[in-house]
Amino acid sequence: MGVDLADLVKEIKREVQLSELKGKKVSIDAYNAIYQFLTAIRQPDGTPLMDSQGRVTSHLSGIFYRTISLLEEGVIPIYVFDGKPPELKAQELERRRKIKEEAEKKLEKAKEEGETKELKKYSQMATRLTNDMAEESKKLLEAMGIPVVQAPSEGEAEAAYLCSQGYTWAAASQDYDSLLFGANKLIRNLTLTGKRKLPKKDVYVEIKPELIELEDLLKKFGITREQLVDIGILIGTDYDPDGIKGIGPVTALRIIKKYGNIEKAVEKGELPKYILDLNINEIRSIFLNPPVVKPEGSLDLKEPNEEEIKKILIDEHNFSEDRVTNGIERLIKAGKEAKGASRQSGLDQWF
Partner DNA sequence: CATTGATA
Partner DNA sequence: TATCAATGG
Instruction: Confirm or reject binding of residue 193 to DNA (CB under 7 A).
Output: yes
Among 4, 12, 13, 50, binds DNA (CB under 7 A): 50
Instruction: Confirm or reject binding of residue 218 to DNA (CB under 7 A).
Output: no
Burial of 350 (0-12, 13-18, 19+ CB in 10 A): exposed
Instruction: Confirm or reject binding of residue 73 to DNA (CB under 7 A).
Output: no
Residue 86 in contact with residue 286, Cβ under 8 Å? yes
Among 66, 89, 120, 185, binds DNA (CB under 7 A): 66
Residue 88 in contact with residue 283, Cβ under 8 Å? yes
Residues 84-123 that bind DNA (CB under 7 A): none
Q: Is 348 assigned to a binding site? A: no
Instruction: Confirm or reject binding of residue 326 to DNA (CB under 7 A).
Output: yes
Q: Is 92 assigned to a binding site? A: no
Burial of 44 (0-12, 13-18, 19+ CB in 10 A): exposed
Instruction: Confirm or reject binding of residue 65 to DNA (CB under 7 A).
Output: yes
Residues 14-43 that bind DNA (CB under 7 A): 36-37, 40-43
Instruction: Confirm or reject binding of residue 68 to DNA (CB under 7 A).
Output: yes
Classify the phi-psi angles of 348: left when phi > 0, otherwise alpha if psi is within -120 to 50, otherwise beta. Answer: alpha
Among 84, 98, 117, 195, binds DNA (CB under 7 A): 195
Nearer to DNA, 22 or 323 (CB): 323
Binding segment for DNA among 143-151, 192-200, 225-233, 245-253 (CB under 7 A)?
A: 192-200
Q: What is the closest distance, in whole angstroms, from the C-beta atom of residue 58 to DNA in the complex?
A: 8
Instruction: Confirm or reject binding of residue 196 to DNA (CB under 7 A).
Output: yes
Nearer to DNA, 44 or 246 (CB): 44
Among 51, 73, 300, 308, binds DNA (CB under 7 A): 51
> What track of x and - describes contact with DNA for positions 279 through 318 (by CB under 7 A)?
--------------------------------------xx
Q: What is the closest distance, in whole angstroms, from the C-beta atom of residue 55 to DNA in the complex?
A: 8
Binding segment for DNA among 16-24, 59-67, 158-166, 229-237 (CB under 7 A)?
A: 59-67
Rg, the chain, Cα only = 21
Q: Give the amino acid at 17.
A: Q
Instruction: Confirm or reject binding of residue 207 to DNA (CB under 7 A).
Output: yes
Q: Is 158 assigned to a binding site? A: no
How big is the site for DNA, counted in residues (CB under 7 A)?
Answer: 34
Which residues bind to DNA, rule: CB under 7 A? 36-37, 40-44, 47-51, 57, 60-62, 65-66, 68-69, 191-193, 195-197, 207, 317-320, 323-324, 326
List residues forming the annotated binding site.
29, 82, 154, 156, 175, 177, 238
